[in-house]
Chains A and B, each alone.
Chain A
Amino acid sequence: MLSLTPKEISDRNALTVNPAKTCQPIGAMYAALGIHRCLPHSHGSQGCCAYHRSHLTRHYKEPVMASTSSFTEGAAVFGGMSNLRQAITNIFHIYDPDVIAVHTTCLSETIGDDLSTIILKARDEGLVPEGKWVIHCNTPSYAGSHVTGFSNMTTGMVKYFAQENERHREQINLIPGYVEPSDMREIKRLLAEMELPSVVFPDTSDVLDAPQQGAPVSVGKAADIYPKGGTRIRDLQSMGDSRVTLALGPFASENAAIELENRTEIPARIMDLPIGIAATDRFIQVLLETAEVLEPPASIADDRGRMVDIMLDMQQYFYDRKVAIYGDPDQVISLTEFAVSLGMKPIYVLTGTPGKRFDARIKGILKDVVPGARIKSSGDLFLLHQWIKNEPVDLLIGNTYGKYIARAEDIPFVRFGFPILDRVGHSYFPTVGYRGGMRLLEKMLDALLDRKDRDDPEERFELVL
Chain B
Amino acid sequence: MSGVLLFSAPGFSAETGGAGPAVESANAEPFDPFAGEYEEELLMVYDPIEPFNRAMFWFNDKLYFYLLKPIARGFRLVPEPARVSVDNFFNNVATPVRFANSLLQFRFGDATRELGRFVVNSTWGVAGLFDPARTQLGWEMKKEDTGQTLGYFGVPSGFYLVLPVFGPSTPRDAVGRVGDFFLDPWNYVFDESWHKTAVKMTDRLNVLSLDDDTYESIKAEQLDPYLFIRDGYMQRREAMIIE
A and B associate: no
Give me the interface of A with B, judged by CB distance under 8 Å: none
Give me the interface of B with A, judged by CB distance under 8 Å: none
